[in-house]
Amino acid sequence: MTVAAIHGRDIHVDVEGFLTDPMEWDESLAEALAANIGIDLTEGHWSAIRFARSDFAANGETPTLRRMATTGGVATKDMFALFPKKPAKKMAYVAGLPKPVGCV
């Protein structure tokens, strides 16, 4: 397990930079993680992040794009607008969750 200094704190991450302990996450860390990938968080981002974190807590895995659209109410095109190019992966990173299954 790797430790990275992010936003003045030591955070446990995997080799790709995803948090390995979602309990280390908080909203100020999310802001720092989003800034690392060039995203300024808006209420749309927070809505997706909050759904993803609550869904992860309930199901034990990061929601896929399909689940975000069908259960979370965030359309796939909106996810691409919020988190360009690799929306599920970027959303999981900012939300402090593991990379979604099937994400390359």
Q: What is the pLDDT along the chain (104 residues), one digit of tens a residue?
A: 688 888 788 899 999 889 999 889 999 999 999 999 999 999 999 999 999 999 999 999 999 999 999 998 999 999 999 999 999 999 999 999 998 876 54
User: What stretches of the chain show up as alpha helix (H) in DSSP?
Assistant: 27-36, 43-59, 65-70, 76-82, 87-95
Q: Is residue 60 part of a domain?
A: yes
Kindly report the length of the chain.
Answer: 104
Catalytic residue among 6, 37, 41, 103: 103
Q: Is residue 31 part of a domain?
A: yes
Q: Is residue 80 part of a domain?
A: yes
**Given this model, what pLDDT does residue 103 score?**
59
Asked if 62 is an active-site residue, the reply is no
Q: Is residue 50 part of a domain?
A: yes
Phi, psi of 63 (to 5 degrees): -65, 145
C-alpha–C-alpha distance, residues 33 and 52, integer Å: 16
**Given this model, what pLDDT does residue 102 score?**
67
Please give the torsion angle defined by the CA atoms of residues 40, 76, 98 and 26, in that order, rounded to the nearest 10 degrees. 40
Residue whose structure tokens are 């975000």:
68
Count of domains in the chain? 1
What's at 72, amino acid-wise?
G
Strand partners, 2: 13
Q: Name the residue range of residue 77's domain.
A: 26-95
**Given this model, what pLDDT does residue 1 score?**
66
Q: Is residue 100 part of a domain?
A: no
**Given this model, what pLDDT does residue 95 score?**
97
Q: Is residue 83 part of a domain?
A: yes
> First CA to last CA across the chain, in angstroms?
20
